[in-house]
Chain A
Amino acid sequence: MIPQPPPGSPDPPRPLVRLLERALPRGVAGLSMVGDLLEEWHRREPGTRRALWFLVASSGLVVRYTAVRVAARTRDLARAGADALRRSLRNPVQTGLTVLALGLGIAAPGTMFSVVSGLTREVDLEEPDRVVHVGRRFTPSVIGIAPFDWLWPGLDDVETLEVVGLYSRDQLDLGGGEGYAQRLGVALVTPGVFEAFGTDAALGRTFGPDDAGAEGAPVVLAWELWRSRFGGDRAVLGSTVRLDGSPRTVVGVMPEGFGLPGGVDLWAPLDTEAASRADVANYQAVARLADGATVDGLRRRVEALNTALRQQGEEVPPAGGLAAQLWRHSLISAEDRRMLSVMVLLVGFVLVIACADVLNLLLARALSRSRETAVRVALGAGRGRIVGDHLAEAAVLSTLAGLVGLALTAAAVRVFEARTAGQLAYWMDVQVDLPVLLFGAALVALAALGTGLVPAVQSSRVEVGLMLRDGGRGGSAFRIGRLSRGLVVGEIALSCALLAMAAVMVRGAVTSLATEGEYATSTVLTARYELRPASYDDESARAFHRRLVEELRGRPGVAEAAVTSHLPGIFSARRRVEIEGRPVERPEDAPFTHMVSVSPSFLSTLESGPLRGRALTWDDGVDGAGAVLVNEAFVRERLGDRDPLGVRLRLAPVGTKEGRSSPWRTVVGVVPALGVGPQGGSDRTGVYLPVSAEPTRRAAVMVRAAPGTDPLSLVPELRDLVTRLDADLALWEIDTLAGHIEAFRAVETVFSALFLTFGLAGLLLAGVGLYGLLAFTVRKRVRELGVRTALGATPLRILRTAVGGGLLQLGLGLAAGLGLAVLVAPLLGAALLGADPRDPAVYGVVAGVLGLTGLVAAAMPARRALRTDVVEALRTE
């Protein structure tokens, strides 16, 4: 009989009491505590105070016993972890391999995440959501330089903008003081630029409205330039430096780390008067939104500006006028961002593959321990306990793997940094930082759950009776066969997809890196220079180039020297070319070709020579004596194989100014392929003009070292010579030609190398997975194989029994993986470096490689199956 409380004095609310019972220890102890509380409750006067007392008293008890329980749980977990660690260490090889596999799986996305978060790092801006960029829209996602009168004074009237700054970017030579002249990234800016970025000078001042066009116009230095060139001396303020030959006064130094609008070493005032008269469309704007104004509001105003420009007769294309975006979005486009995320995701496949491997291993281990588990369950171990033990094992392995992954990531990041040094924007900073560590921790947790949960749950479901009867043979108490096979198919599919995409990237990189034609690269020292338009006319530029080459040629250690407008293997400008006897109706119909101005020794410096005709001389090109060289591709594609020697060409003039025409020039020689145009581009045709005909201002000097001389050892001599010829002239990008060509594609190459590494890691892991599964199958079925052999099964039959399934999984995985790659690869866009994302040849190679790996993985288990010793097998328990 249930005792009733005295009438007139109700118990505390039932749900509260029930909650209390749940929170306190089970059994008599807990029940008696609740009883004590109730007894005390009834001793007290009814009322609010009693209710309050009950709440306080009971919650005090709950808190204390919850703490006790948590402490006990933690102890249990720690014990399970220690057990798992001890068990793992008992089999160091297997544990080591597992940790390595998972570590690779963690390192792959970890590295890619570090790289991507480094590349997409935000520039430090004050109120970044108010700083906007306005320029001309070139593609839906690229906004860049615009004509001056598009931007000004139109933008000045936009009331949603608090302040507007205009800038154009340039590179100029800093001379004066000690040492060689130095090439600088320069921004010509209006005062509004600094205001819009919300940054003031750290020392001295920035510009005011009267600075532009003033005598000895002021300049502001970047902190890093101030430290490196001026030793961080404050006396630099007010001193004079020479910028492209003219004296300028240093008035300020910007704070450390500030280089906006991007890679700027020095700021000079932009003369808006002069800019509005100039013929170049080289301007952009940065502005600060007024309080409460939005980018969308600004966009509407910018559209109105476009309309006004059209009404004034400007040629503003419908989808390509002025456009505005947040400044931080101008640094990396939304598409690139998406592509980078896709990369992280794809590389995450490696982790999935590794997890599948380890999951299969842990399943097998759980299976081999199922008898032990059954005994423990029979002895009363709870399901939670069994699950906890397995999870602890997975957690221990994953944590160890996390450490391995961290080390691998740090190493990979260091390689990435070294390979891309100087090729990334200054704010991009690839390193293992807190976000990367957090990402890694999340990966570890994922790996632990991904590898531990299934074996844990599976083994906690063990059917004790069956297991103990069955004795753990054949694994009939566990239904893991189908799961394992499915996992292996998935692994093969993912690694196939990953590898296919990596292969496409590599193909793109190889195509774009392949030097077209054969010429000297590693023995040739190159450096760029630019003759100041203000100091050099055609005549003096011609003289400078010639003097430089001639002074170099006689020196010891120098085999040959030349100057060129464009270095081979990197990039050349294209111009339209008119061919005599092939009239076009409009100038726009003339075909394009690459145009390079070279000194006569260009060919010999590259250890090349004309295939037909002759090389150029210094006399060519001066006053109408027009001679040019064309390359083989030009003969093939532009001349239709007609005899090139004597053909006359006319190159479209540079610039848009009317009234200039270019003379007819005669082809005097044919040269082999020497790497014109961007690598991987389709147009390989090129015309070589004597540098005396169009004395380029932006040039590169090439010096081929004599045999036995390190080309880089010629650098001081080259610098001294140039300084002697012109003290204000800087040499920059000083490296061997081979180094230049490599650096030109460094970022892309590193990306494809990373991808290839991860793809191969995936391949290896998938191979191991397949091997593991087949080996396990053969081991478990050794008795059956023995019986079959005893009954006279043919070797073929045995093979089919043992590894036939594996080949089926291989086939299924390959098909699924190639399908996946076909779907996903196009998302990588630009990262593929122009390679066809669905290149059948590449896919074929990948399928072949994976198939081969699969066969190798199957071979050992197959051998073992064939060699099954009947007597031995039948004796196996």
Chain B
Amino acid sequence: MPTPVFLGEFEQFVLLSLLRSGEAAAVLDLRDRMEELADRSISRGALYRTLDRLEEKGWVAWEVDEEDVPERGGRPRRRFHVTGEGIAVLRASRDTLRDLWAGLEGLLG
């Protein structure tokens, strides 16, 4: 049996939202999508720090956007995507949760 993987709720949320974006997402777009999905405001700092951590673990990666946005005054724009490892972790986490849920339908409805 594989080691159970527990992803933090927010980490999971970030990863899944990134995947839903379909392609590498800029942070602003990612945040808009997450706020839309969660129907609440997402703290900028929390999001950046979570992305930092996910990046350290190797579950997300980013590249610099080629597009030149004049409003940014020449500052780069990062586009994040979920890595293969990140997808594997999501799967493992889903399996762990599914195992934990299994058999409790009678109790939880």
Nearest residue, chain A, Cβ from B49: A64
- Which stretch from A29-37, A73-81, A332-340 is at the chain B interface? A29-37
Partner of A28, one of B46, B49, B64: B64
Q: How many A-B residue pairs have CB under 8 A?
A: 68
Rounded to whole Å, the gap between the CB of A45 and the closest CB of chain B is 14
Segment 1-47 of B: residues with Cβ below 8 Å from A: 26-28, 43-46
**Interface contact A5-B45, CB-CB below 8 Å:** no
- Is B71 an interface residue when CB atoms closer than 8 A count as contact? yes
Partner of A38, one of B49, B64, B68, B73: B73
Q: Which residues of A contact B76 (CB under 8 A)?
A: 28, 31-32, 35
Q: Which of A216-271 contact B (CB under 8 A)?
A: none
How many angstroms between the C-alpha atoms of A204 and B43 in the bound complex?
A: 68
Q: Distance in Å from the Cβ of A43 to the closest Cβ of chain B?
A: 8
Residue pair B48, A34 in contact (C-beta under 8 Å): no
Establish whether residues B70 and A34, one from each chain, have CB atoms under 8 Å apart when the complex forms.
no
Contact bitstring A53-94, B, C-beta under 8 A = 1, else 0: 000010011011100100000000000000000000000000
- Give the distance to chain A from B34, nearest Cβ to Cβ, in Å: 14
Nearest CB of chain B from residue A189's CB, rounded to whole Å: 69
A41 engages B78 (CB within 8 Å): no
Known interface pairs A3-B70, A40-B28. Does A61 touch B75 (Cβ–Cβ under 8 Å)? no
Are the C-beta atoms of B48 and A3 separated by less than 8 Å? no
Could you tell me the distance between the alpha carbons of A60 and B70 in the complex, rounded to whole angstroms?
Answer: 25
Query: How many A residues face the partner with a CB closer than 8 A?
Result: 26
In the complex, which of the residues B28, B44, B73 contacts A60, with contact meaning CB atoms closer than 8 Å? Answer: B44
Report the minimal beta-carbon distance from B83 to chain A, rounded to whole angstroms: 17
Please give, as numbers and ranges, the residues of chain B lying within 8 Å of A3 by CB-CB distance. 68-70, 72-74
Q: Which residue of A lies closest to B79 (CB)?
A: A32
Sorting the interface of chain B by its residue count into under 10, 10 to 19, 20 to 34 or 35 or more gives: 20 to 34
Closest chain B residue to A34, Cβ basis? B75
Alpha-carbon gap, A65 to B44, bound state (A): 11
Give the shortest distance, in Å, between A318 (CB) and chain B (any CB): 77
A60-B43 in contact (CB<8A): yes
Contact partner of A36 among B28, B46, B64, B74, CB < 8 A?
B28
Query: A61–B64 Cα gap in the complex (Å)?
Result: 21
Contact of A35 among B43, B46, B52, B75 (CB under 8 A): B75
A11 / chain B contacts, CB cutoff of 8 Å: 73
In the complex, whether A4 has a CB less than 8 A from a CB of chain B is: yes
Counting from the closest, the 8 A-B pairs by CB-CB distance are A35-B75, A64-B45, A35-B72, A42-B71, A3-B70, A32-B78, A31-B75, A39-B71
* Chain A residues in the interface with B (C-beta under 8 A): 2-6, 11, 28-29, 31-36, 38-42, 57, 60-61, 63-65, 68
Known: A32-B78, A39-B72. 4 other contacts (CB 8 A): A35-B72, A35-B77, A40-B28, A57-B44
A to B CB contacts below 8 Å, 27 in the list: A2-B74, A3-B73, A3-B74, A4-B70, A5-B70, A5-B71, A11-B73, A28-B76, A29-B78, A32-B64, A32-B75, A32-B77, A33-B27, A35-B76, A35-B77, A36-B26, A36-B27, A36-B28, A36-B77, A38-B72, A39-B69, A39-B71, A42-B71, A61-B45, A61-B48, A63-B45, A64-B46
